[in-house]
Amino acid sequence: MAVRRSALQSGPSKNSGTRPGSSRGAAREQVDDAVRSGLLTGRFIPGKAVTLRGLAAELGVSPMPVREVLQRLAAENALEVKPNGRVQVPDMTPGRFQEVLKARLLLEPELAALALPRLSPKDADDLKAIDDDIDQCILSGDAESYMRLNHAFHFRIYRASASEVLLPLIDSLWLQFAPFMRTVYGRVGTVSLEDRHKEAIRAIEERNEAALRGAIIADINDGMGILGTEILTGKGKA
């Protein structure tokens, strides 16, 4: 067996046994980061089971912290615990998709508006840099990097709000639609992608709340629009 190296494993597993030099809850945090990032970049396939011992071996930890992390993510509806105990990425359904879209449209503009007064010119510059990278990824068809950067763009804005309530809710939403998004990009590619990031950046620079709300709404509609047509027009299985 010998602990197969995996894309999930960020670094060498030197953390095992000898020296728990890291602080409290290090293993749990490591697993949490790995799985969250894996979900957001679409490295987990909807419908595919996520096994406890498998993940544990892949990350070089015992099944214990994995159990806790999987429970956490199940509580956020990022993972689904089936009646037999198996854990998997939930399959997307039209109903779920419509609900996620509705929730995003309600919450994200609100949080962006909350963040606007706390966004500095430096934040705007950072966002520009991220957006440039995003354009690169769209052209080159690098879906995984695109998803990571698109998440980074939105949450760079949202995190500025220092929100303790809305931000976790939106976090949960992204974890729910990201794995599905990945399968769609895998099928239709990324070249047709459009976003309203530049509108959003301009609105931030101009401190224009209405324009920022509008850009976020348009961005969500654009991004989820092609996904919606994809899933709602007789698609088979992932």
Taking the complex as a whole, the smallest distance from the CB of residue 16 to DNA amounts, in Å, to: 6
From the list a copy of itself, DNA, none, partner contacted by residue 163 (C-beta under 5 to 8 A by kind): a copy of itself
Which lies closer to DNA via its Cβ, residue 19 or residue 122?
Answer: 19
- Helices and strands (DSSP H and E) totals, the chain: 9, 3
Q: What is the DSSP string of 139-165?
A: HHT-HHHHHHHHHHHHHHHHHTTT-SS
By the rule CB under 7 A, 51 interacts with DNA: yes
Q: How far, in Å, CA of 138 to CA of 131, rounded?
A: 10
Q: Which of 49/106 has CB closer to DNA?
A: 49
With CB under 8 A as the contact rule, the residue among 46, 63, 96, 211 that binds a copy of itself is 96
Binding flag, residue 75, DNA (CB under 7 A): no
Site for DNA in 30-49 (CB under 7 A): 49
Residue 64 as a binder of DNA (CB under 7 A): the answer is yes
The C-alpha atoms of residue 123 and residue 129 are separated, in whole angstroms, by: 10
Q: Does 86 bind DNA (CB under 7 A)?
A: yes
Based on the shown chain and the rule CB under 7 A, indicate whether residue 23 belongs to the binding site for DNA. Answer: yes
Q: 64 and 171 in contact (C-beta within 8 Å)?
A: no
For residue 176, state whether it binds a copy of itself (rule: CB under 8 A): yes
Q: How far is the CB of 64 from DNA (least distance, A)?
A: 4
Query: By CB under 7 A, is residue 84 in contact with DNA?
Result: yes
- State how far the Cα of 220 lies from the Cα of 222, in Å rounded to an integer: 5
Q: How far apart are CA 160 and CA 40, in angstroms?
A: 20
CB burial of 64-97 (b: ≥16 within 10 Å; e: otherwise) equals ebbbebbebbeebebbbeeeeeebbbbebeeebb
In the set 39, 79, 87, 215, which binds DNA (CB under 7 A)?
87
CB of 20 to DNA, least distance (A): 7
| Closest CB to DNA among residues 21, 121 | 21
* Alpha-carbon gap, residue 224 to 233, rounded angstroms: 14
Under rule CB under 8 A, residue 100 binds a copy of itself: yes
Q: Binding to a copy of itself by residue 166, rule CB under 8 A? A: yes
Residue 229 CB-half CA count within 13 A: 7
Question: Nearest Cα to 135, choosing from 150, 122, 154, 157?
Answer: 150
Residues in contact with a copy of itself by CB under 8 A are 24-25, 67-69, 71-77, 81, 83-85, 95-96, 99-100, 102-103, 106-107, 110, 163-166, 168-169, 172-173, 176
Residues in contact with DNA by CB under 7 A are 16-17, 20, 23-28, 49-54, 61-65, 67-68, 81, 84-87
